[in-house]
Structure 1
Amino acid sequence: MNDPYGTLGVARTASEQEIKSAYRKLAKEFHPDKNSGNPKAAEKFSDATKAYDLLSDKQKRAQFDRGEIDAEGNPLNPFGGMGGGFGRGGSARGGYGGGGQPGGGFRDPEFGGFTPDDMDLGDLFEGLFGGGRARPAGNAGGRRGFGQRPPPPPKKRGADIQYRLAVPFVDAAAGNDQRITLADGKAISLKLPGGVEDGTQMRLKGKGHKGPGGDGDGIVIVEIGSHPFFRRDGDNIRMDLPLTLDEAINGAKVKCPTVDGPVMLTIKPGTNGGTVMRLAGKGWTRRGAKSASGEAKRGDQLVTLEIQLPDDLGDLKTRLGDWQDDAKPREKFGL
């Protein structure tokens, strides 16, 4: 990968959203789950992920644009060519070991100058890199040698790879394990942390790109889906459960859905609409809280009962006749 912009197919002036959209499109097209047995697709997926890793990091992107790092994130050579001194009037007069003096150096007949005998390059390199200077034995003419070479740069660790994991609401709530396919085509089982939220990041040690200083990590970003009737409230889950009028008046046993499957609720005779029933331990997994078996503890499910009148009120009106309820439910409001 020579140019991350070219890999993602975006301009150098692309916004963060344009870069993210381009990456998602390529990731969806070349994901190993959809291209099993196609090594070229896996390679393109890996290149796209590597390019997104670099360009989604504002600091790395700026360093790349300035030419300080390459497309792999490795630093470029901080020193250019060191040849070519300048003579009078700014004209080039040759570099070390060339120019107007035999044996190298530069000396102007009017302004003087230097030769290798006049300077100690070891002092220059010692100032740049530190360390002592090595002098060959019997150095003729008293010339001193160059400073020791700088220590090699530390080996660079491989880049991280980002993954986005779509998790259904009920799985996130109950803490069900998830399967994810990595860039190398291997599928692994992933245990969700207690209290997982949309945007939670999970680090997979050593599941990133390979590097001379060790493999990078896999960074899994969790994306939790919505649900048609469950909604999260901290560690609890809320839902509204409709009742018929006769169930509310006479009482009944009704089925109620939970993220673990339906359970039976006992409705007492004369139950009012708006009554909240609590199902203990049927809520969201809690962060850091463990049961005796080692599983994450969970919040509760809060069920709000709603009395639903029949669509056809004719029969109900006939049965009620002229009866009127003498209760004053809004009296507490001063109305």
Structure 2
Amino acid sequence: MVDKRDYYEVLGVERTATIEEIKKAYRKIAVKNHPDRNPGDDEAVERFKEASEAYDALSNQEKRARYDRYGHAGMGAGGAGGSQFHDIQDIFDAFGDFFGGGGRSRSRSRGPARGDHLQVRLTLDLLEAAKGCTKTVKVKRNSLCHTCDGSGAKPGTKPVTCEYCGGAGQVVQSQGFFRVQTTCPNCGGQGTVIEEKCQTCWGSGFESEHVELEVKIPAGVDTGMQLCLRGEGNPGRGGGPRGDLFVQIQVRDHPLFQREGTHLICRVPITFSQAALGTEIEIPVLDGKTKLNIPAGTQPNDTIRLQGRGIPDPQTGRVGDLHVELNIEVPKKLNAEQQQLLRELAEHDHVHVSAQRKTFWDHVKEFVNWDADEDAS
């Protein structure tokens, strides 16, 4: 796996930078390395893409918080820092306002267009997320119309050149001294129009379908990460490739374990005698149980660390630890023998404790000055 530079380092800003500082830094790098200003310079293109990826993460409050916490492991495709941008046009589509309203003017009629990306949510148990697994997701997406093969035209006919724009997909309007180029209102930028529509898809060229797709979940994913299935989105127009399917990960809370990155926290109750004298107990771990040695003299909220019993980092594979927090429970009810033993211990330690509670009959004896047992005899 290729190491990625820190996003803050890429943009040359501090981790405390404001959104305006981040925007300013990105604009400066993007303009300097813009592909149109650096034809044939692959390194400039890579810097342009790298800066755009960094800006995409740090300009969004939720993504930035996730990045600050988990680093590249918490971002994008595969949960390993992948970018949502697969080519330069994706960047122009996302951040066109930085480059004068679109970056590059591209008419839809000049070539195939990639299909739309789709997104689904997948909920996992903590064990599934920690160990990795294979899951099936159900997706509703488009497919090319089986009647017209995606042309949108009635079988036996085909789209014709748009007369309004002459097939250019765009029209030029004069406004005083200015000439403004806009998308053709007649063909929507396609350059062609359908005179006789397909009766199955009514000219759209697509039909809906429901598919089930297998998703391989890498070990260590967490809530907010997403996996990318290339080419499983909607089909493109004009023979363009399918978009991608992004699987958004959601991990359920666990009743016993609290997750902190790659570490797990488990709170285990023990008795006062176990804490004072020491013992060996069985505790749960993510995939079963194990024995834990409690040293004598354990104090409330002491923590014992079990190395390598946490969750793997999806990027590096390093496994975190299990932190066992020990809570000493004070019994709410004691029998007479337990009370006597504790009172003897208190006397030995020279500590003050509450007086022993008198029963109802003890109070009766004092009040009426008679022995219930003798009276009963």
- Give the TM-score taking structure 2 as reference length: 0.42
Question: Which has the greater radius of gyration?
Answer: 1
- Give the TM-score taking structure 1 as reference length: 0.47
